């Protein structure tokens, strides 16, 4: 199904007058309002192809009907999110879950839907049916060269597929590690991983980037080869200028100061990608902003400051939502996540950076806190709504989605028992 302009206009009609009045009031309050609306309107976040179906846990998976059964249908779903929010014009594919049978046709369909292809994701964390060697004991780090070679070859294939689709980057996340002390020689594992990454890196087209994602634990519970941003940064540095660190919000030990990691990486020009989600305990993959919205705001503060003071020439990171949906309709969940990300971003844009710097230089702790919290406590719903309106999207995307009965329509189209490929 495709949402058309008339449906969007109809859903906006009732809300439009009040929205316009609210906007006039808000403009009196913030003198840089136009600029903030413009920044938010231009902002886009990629949707991963594996997040459009029901997510499962190791205990079970509960479907909800109308899940996309193939890549074409996944693109349709991303287009629904993009049409309603005006902020999700890219899809991030996972190989081999989403191998495009006909890359040209997929590219043409995406183009027609107003979508493009963001970072490609390789998968050496599980075995595929036709696979010769197992990744049970690791992939790029494996003790056996034939396994490493197979994992390298897979990453090269993913690059080839990405080239055919017009993607410009590869994200590597490895499950490699160990469950028991003594199982793995840390140094050998690190060196094997670096050597394997070097082979993949050498295969990257000139205009591509490689993002190295880190994670402290899971699926391995004693050690992960790329456990933290320092390890990722070291590997990226050894590879070359096309390699960067990718920060996934859920891939930190509890209470880690992620905003400081972000600030440090931008200072060194090494922040390549960002995976948004939220968590209470571990890599919970909950909807963005449900548990720690203040942390997300502080991260965006570092991003806003970082890109306003970008001496190391850090490229604009690849933004992606990386969440799982066990209970909610994934499309509604992703819409909520897009809104939460833009909320944090808009609030960070409200921070008076000059006043903050002045307070920081004077060591005025109270004033610094007030400046941040004034921005955080501001209501930015109207800013987001106006940005959407200017993109031809819905003033209230969730309300519009429900009024249009999108899920019912998808169930009619695809049936109740389709299970999307993914986690
Ligand atoms: Mn991730």
Tell me how far the alpha carbon of residue 246 lies from the centroid of ligand 1, in angstroms.
Answer: 8
Write the DSSP string, 279-306.
-SSSS--BPTTSS-HHHHHHHHHHHHHH
Least Cα distance to 175 among 144, 232, 216, 147 occurs for 216
Tokens standing for 103? 């890359």
Tell me how far the alpha carbon of residue 275 lies from the centroid of ligand 1, in angstroms.
Answer: 5
Supply the pLDDT for residue 268: 98
Tell me how far the alpha carbon of residue 377 lies from the centroid of ligand 1, in angstroms.
Answer: 29
Supply the pLDDT for residue 359: 98
For the chain, the average pLDDT equals 96
Backbone torsion region of residue 138, taken as left when φ is above 0, otherwise alpha when ψ lies between -120 and 50, otherwise beta: left
Average pLDDT rounded to a whole number, residues 57-66: 87
Tens digit of pLDDT for each residue in 112-159?
Answer: 999 999 999 999 999 999 999 999 999 999 999 999 999 999 999 999
Decide which of 148 and 423 is more confident. Answer: 148
Contact 171, 226 (CB under 8 A): no
Contact 42, 86 (CB under 8 A): no
Q: Which residues contact 10 (CB under 8 A, 6 or more apart)?
A: none
Tell me how far the alpha carbon of residue 354 lies from the centroid of ligand 1, in angstroms.
Answer: 34
Q: How far apart are the first and last CA of the chain?
A: 24
18 pLDDT higher than 80: yes
Tell me how far the alpha carbon of residue 191 lies from the centroid of ligand 1, in angstroms.
Answer: 23
Q: Would you place residue 309 in the very low, low, confident or very high pLDDT band (cuts 50, 70, 90)?
A: very high
Tell me how far the alpha carbon of residue 310 lies from the centroid of ligand 1, in angstroms.
Answer: 25
Tell me how far the alpha carbon of residue 171 lies from the centroid of ligand 1, in angstroms.
Answer: 9
In which residue are the tokens 């899971």 written?
218
Tell me how far the alpha carbon of residue 359 lies from the centroid of ligand 1, in angstroms.
Answer: 36
Tens digit of pLDDT for each residue in 67-119?
Answer: 999 999 999 999 999 999 999 999 999 999 999 999 999 999 999 999 999 99
Q: Would you place residue 56 in the very low, low, confident or very high pLDDT band (cuts 50, 70, 90)?
A: confident
Q: Would you place residue 423 in the very low, low, confident or very high pLDDT band (cuts 50, 70, 90)?
A: low
> In a 3-state reduction of DSSP, which class is residue 419?
coil
Tell me how far the alpha carbon of residue 322 lies from the centroid of ligand 1, in angstroms.
Answer: 5
Tell me how far the alpha carbon of residue 283 lies from the centroid of ligand 1, in angstroms.
Answer: 9
Tell me how far the alpha carbon of residue 214 lies from the centroid of ligand 1, in angstroms.
Answer: 8
Tell me how far the alpha carbon of residue 9 lies from the centroid of ligand 1, in angstroms.
Answer: 35
54 pLDDT higher than 90: no
Supply the pLDDT for residue 319: 98
In which residue are the tokens 């933290």 written?
228
Average pLDDT rounded to a whole number, residues 273-301: 97
Tell me how far the alpha carbon of residue 63 lies from the centroid of ligand 1, in angstroms.
Answer: 22
A 10 A CB-CB count for 292 gives 17
Tell me how far the alpha carbon of residue 29 lies from the centroid of ligand 1, in angstroms.
Answer: 38
Tell me how far the alpha carbon of residue 248 lies from the centroid of ligand 1, in angstroms.
Answer: 5
Supply the pLDDT for residue 64: 84
Tell me how far the alpha carbon of residue 218 lies from the centroid of ligand 1, in angstroms.
Answer: 12
Tens digit of pLDDT for each residue in 312-349?
Answer: 999 999 999 999 988 999 999 999 999 999 999 999 99
420 pLDDT higher than 80: no
């Amino acid at each position: 199904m495709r949402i058309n302009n008339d449906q969007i206009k109809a859903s906006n009609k009732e809300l439009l007058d009040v929205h316009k009045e609210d906007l006039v009031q808000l403009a009196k309050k913030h003198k840089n309002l136009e600029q903030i609306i413009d920044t938010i309107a231009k902002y886009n976040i990629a949707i991963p192809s594996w997040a459009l179906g029901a997510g499962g846990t190791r205990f079970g998976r509960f479907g909800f009907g109308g899940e996309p059964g193939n890549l074409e249908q996944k693109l349709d779903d991303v287009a629904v999110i993009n049409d309603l929010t005006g902020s999700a014009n890219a899809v991030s594919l996972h190989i081999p879950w989403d191998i495009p049978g006909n890359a040209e046709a997929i590219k043409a369909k995406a183009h027609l839907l107003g979508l493009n292809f963001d970072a490609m994701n390789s998968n050496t964390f599980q075995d595929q049916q036709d696979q010769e060697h197992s990744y049970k004991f690791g992939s790029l780090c494996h003790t056996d060269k034939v396994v490493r070679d197979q994992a390298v070859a897979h990453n090269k294939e993913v690059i080839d597929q990405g080239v055919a689709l017009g993607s410009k980057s590869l994200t590597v996340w490895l499950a490699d590690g160990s469950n028991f002390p003594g199982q793995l020689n840390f140094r050998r594992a690190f060196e094997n991983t670096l050597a394997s990454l070097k082979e993949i890196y050498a295969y990257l087209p000139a205009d591509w980037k490689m993002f190295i994602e880190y994670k402290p634990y899971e699926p391995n519970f004693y050690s992960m080869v790329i456990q933290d941003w320092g390890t990722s940064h070291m590997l990226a540095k050894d590879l070359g200028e096309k390699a960067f660190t990718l920060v996934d919000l859920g891939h930190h030990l509890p209470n880690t100061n992620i905003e400081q990691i972000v600030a440090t990486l931008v200072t060194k020009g090494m922040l390549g990608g960002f995976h948004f989600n939220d968590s209470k305990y571990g890599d919970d993959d909950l909807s963005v902003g449900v548990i720690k919205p203040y942390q997300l705001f502080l991260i965006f503060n570092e991003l806003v400051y970082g890109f306003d003071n970008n001496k190391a020439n850090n490229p604009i990171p690849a933004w992606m939502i990386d969440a799982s949906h066990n209970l909610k309709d994934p499309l509604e969940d992703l819409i909520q996540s897009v809104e939460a990300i833009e909320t944090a971003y808009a609030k960070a844009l409200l921070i008076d950076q000059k006043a903050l710097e002045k307070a920081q230089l004077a060591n005025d702790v109270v004033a610094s806190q007030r400046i941040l919290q004034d921005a955080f406590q501001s209501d930015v719903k109207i800013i987001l709504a106006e940005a959407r309106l200017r993109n031809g999207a819905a003033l209230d995307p969730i309300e519009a989605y429900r009024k249009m009965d999108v899920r019912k329509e998808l169930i009619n189209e695809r049936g109740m028992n389709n299970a999307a490929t993914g986690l």
